[in-house]
Amino acid sequence: MPKVRFLKERLEVDVPDGTTILQAAVKAGAPEGDRCGGVCACSTCHVYVVKGFDDTSEIEDEEFDILDKAFDVRMESRLGCQAKIHGDVDVVISDESFQAFLDEHPDDAEKARAQRAAVLQGEREMAEDCRSLARFTLNGIPPMPAGMARLEVRFSVDADGLLDVSASEQTTGIEQHVEVKPSYGLSDEEVERMLLDAYEHAEHDMTARALREQRVEAQRILDATAQALERDAALLEEGERETIEAAMEAVHAAAAGDDHRVVQSRIEDLDRIGKPFAGRRMDRSIQQALSGQKLGDVERETAGATGIEPHLGPGEES
């Protein structure tokens, strides 16, 4: 029986020949999204088959079309619901798919209260081009919206040359550290080679990094906007949902491309188009926060603050 390993989750499962990666994920309990139910109409089951790609079924046109809209598509990308397994494979679930899984399974999102940290050595912009020294996990972070966790990482080298890396989450103070004992050092030639590599690839690396960062930002803003549309649909004006959703689609399409400036520009468009809706949500939140307080109390609390006047509606004095 073919063996499927989900590398990030360290899960593995034996499945009959012809099983899809998504079915294997369900069997193994691996967090893979499947928003359309496996009918090849979304990209939430996007995975990377990092080993054994040739032991999966051929990619049909339909799958190519959907993959075209996915985030961070690579040579080893597949849709988990379409890729059938015919031999041992190693799979990495994409960030897009993992996030979709958490959105669909709020209970598991509650449990996903950890951040993984990787310690790398090198001069290149992308992690995969650097040398991995260690990995560790920061556990116990309370649930918070995606992108809100703030990590501070500190490095110190002691007299024996041992590297101590500590990471703390700023809002909670949760801290974890790891001591790195490199199994081998670097010769002068290797250091020189690393510097030359970084110099030679500087332009490509900077562009790749900017694209990766904009894709992360695109995913964050798409998730936040989708949540806002769902929670505060009553605050939308006529036709506003359609306009915002069109701008979201434009962000999604740009993020599937490879020009970080286009992604940034579409994000700015979505931000501008969604501003009136965001303003209404903000006004409503302020009114809710103020309800039950006397105007005099509010004036005392906000003395010296600007920008609150337009948000005060009738009836704050009680």
* Chain positions contacting ligand FES, by CB under 6 A: 34-36, 38, 40-42, 44-45, 66, 79, 81
Nearer of residues 69 and 212 to ligand FES, judged by Cβ: 69
Nearer of residues 60 and 299 to ligand FES, judged by Cβ: 60
* Token pair for 310: 């337009």
Supply the minimum distance, in Å, between the C-beta of residue 135 and ligand FES: 29
How many other CB atoms sit within 10 Å of the CB of residue 285? Answer: 12
Supply the minimum distance, in Å, between the C-beta of residue 77 and ligand FES: 12
Nearer of residues 66 and 91 to ligand FES, judged by Cβ: 66
Nearer of residues 39 and 114 to ligand FES, judged by Cβ: 39
How many other CB atoms sit within 10 Å of the CB of residue 214? Answer: 22
**DSSP annotation string for 79-98:** ETTT-BBSS-EEEEE-HHHH
Supply the minimum distance, in Å, between the C-beta of residue 56 and ligand FES: 14
Nearer of residues 25 and 208 to ligand FES, judged by Cβ: 25
Nearer of residues 66 and 138 to ligand FES, judged by Cβ: 66
CA-to-CA distance for 184 and 124, rounded, in angstroms?
A: 20
Supply the minimum distance, in Å, between the C-beta of residue 231 and ligand FES: 24
Supply the minimum distance, in Å, between the C-beta of residue 80 and ligand FES: 6
Cβ pair 246, 239 in contact under 8 A: no
Nearer of residues 15 and 42 to ligand FES, judged by Cβ: 42
Residue (of 95, 174, 106) closest to 141 by Cα position: 174
Supply the minimum distance, in Å, between the C-beta of residue 22 and ligand FES: 6
* Token pair for 129: 């081009």
- The two counts, helices (H) then strands (E), for the chain are 9, 10
Nearer of residues 35 and 220 to ligand FES, judged by Cβ: 35
Residue (of 101, 105, 94) closest to 72 by Cα position: 94
Our CA angle for 72, 74, 75, nearest 5°, is: 170
DSSP H or E stretch at residue 214: helix 202-231
Supply the minimum distance, in Å, between the C-beta of residue 40 and ligand FES: 5
- φ/ψ bin of 162: left (φ > 0), alpha (ψ from -120 to 50), beta (otherwise): beta
Longest dimension (CA), the chain: 76
CA-to-CA distance for 71 and 65, rounded, in angstroms?
A: 13
DSSP annotation of 20 reads: B
Supply the minimum distance, in Å, between the C-beta of residue 221 and ligand FES: 22
**How big, in percent rounded to 5, are the helix, strand and coil portions of the chain?**
45, 20, 35
